[in-house]
Amino acid sequence: MTTNMKPQTQTQADKQMVLLSQYYPGIYDQLIPEQVEVVKPRRRRKKIKADASGCGFRKRKLSDEQVSLLEQNFGDEHKLESERKDRIAAELGLDPRQVAVWFQNRRARWKSKKLEEEYSKLKTEHDSTVLEKCRLETEVLKLKEQLGEAQNGINRLVERLDGISSTSPSSSFSMEAMEPTFFDGFGMEGLENVFFVPENSYINGFDWLNNI
């Protein structure tokens, strides 16, 4: 529907133009089409420049007082019912259409700002999550390193115990046999109960470490 204008839209546009021409005589008059065009490309507004007398300079900026009251009403409710629109328009000496346009633009600005804030919030959350992920990855690497050292220590002990057991058949080895402070040397205090390894599989019990 880019080339055919709806009849009702045309009528509305004309009505608006007539209305505006009443509010700003000499400015919009020239824009009122003499005949209704059925087929039209997207209309471009004509540039309106001030002439020597200053006429043709359309009033655009709303006063601070008008904006203040509009903001106050917008704060109460973003939507605008017909009655409220008329009331505000009468109160501010504006055309209801102007009030409707102001609310539309204000909603658009509000939405845009809200999206910006949401983006900012999500970005902050994302950044801190990435930071936390890096921290955790570093911690995992450190723990892997510590576990590797622990495994080496155990292997050395096992080798020593194997040497002893070959001369003394009755001796055996189990995790319980370790001193409670065994892990302390590897900075793994409190992990004794975390890593359960069956007694009879202690030699290959750390294979799972490779899968971390």
Partner DNA sequence: ACCTTATGCCTGTTACATCA
Partner DNA sequence: TTGATGTAACAGGCATAAGG
The secondary structure element, H or E, covering residue 141 is helix 96-167
88 close to 70: Cβ distance less than 8 angstroms: yes
Minimum CB separation of residue 12 from DNA in Å reads: 6
The contact pattern for DNA, residues 133-172, with x = CB under 7 A and - = no contact, is: ----------------------------------------
Kindly tell me which residue out of 34, 35, 39, 42 binds DNA, with binding defined by CB under 7 A.
42
Q: Is 46 in the site for DNA (CB under 7 A)?
A: yes
Cα Rg of the chain (Å, integer): 40
Site string for DNA, 108-127 (x = CB under 7 A): xx-x----------------
CB of 118 to DNA, least distance (A): 14
Q: Which region, judged by CB under 7 A, interacts with DNA, from 40-48, 124-132, 140-148, 204-212? A: 40-48
Crossing angle for the helix pair 82-92 and 96-167, to the nearest 10 degrees: 120
Map tokens 């890593």 to a residue: 195
For the CA atoms of 50, 52, 55, 61, the dihedral, rounded to the nearest 10 degrees, stands at: 40
Q: Which two tokens stand for residue 20?
A: 């505006």
Instruction: Examine residue 107 and tell whether it contacts DNA (CB under 7 A).
Output: yes
Which of 47/166 has CB closer to DNA?
A: 47
Q: 3-class DSSP state for residue 39?
A: strand
Instruction: Tell me phi and psi for residue 4, to 5 degrees.
Output: -105, 120
113, 118, 119, 121 alpha-carbon torsion, rounded to 10°: 130
Tell me the number of residues near DNA by CB under 7 A. Answer: 49
Binding pattern to DNA, positions 65-104, x when CB under 7 A? --x-----------xxxx--x-----------xx-xxxxx
Give 19 or 147: the residue with its C-beta nearer to DNA.
Answer: 19
Question: Phi, psi (5° rounding) for residue 39?
Answer: -110, 125
> What residue ranges bind DNA (CB under 7 A)?
1-2, 5, 7-9, 11-13, 16-17, 20, 28, 40-50, 57-62, 67, 79-82, 85, 97-98, 100-109, 111
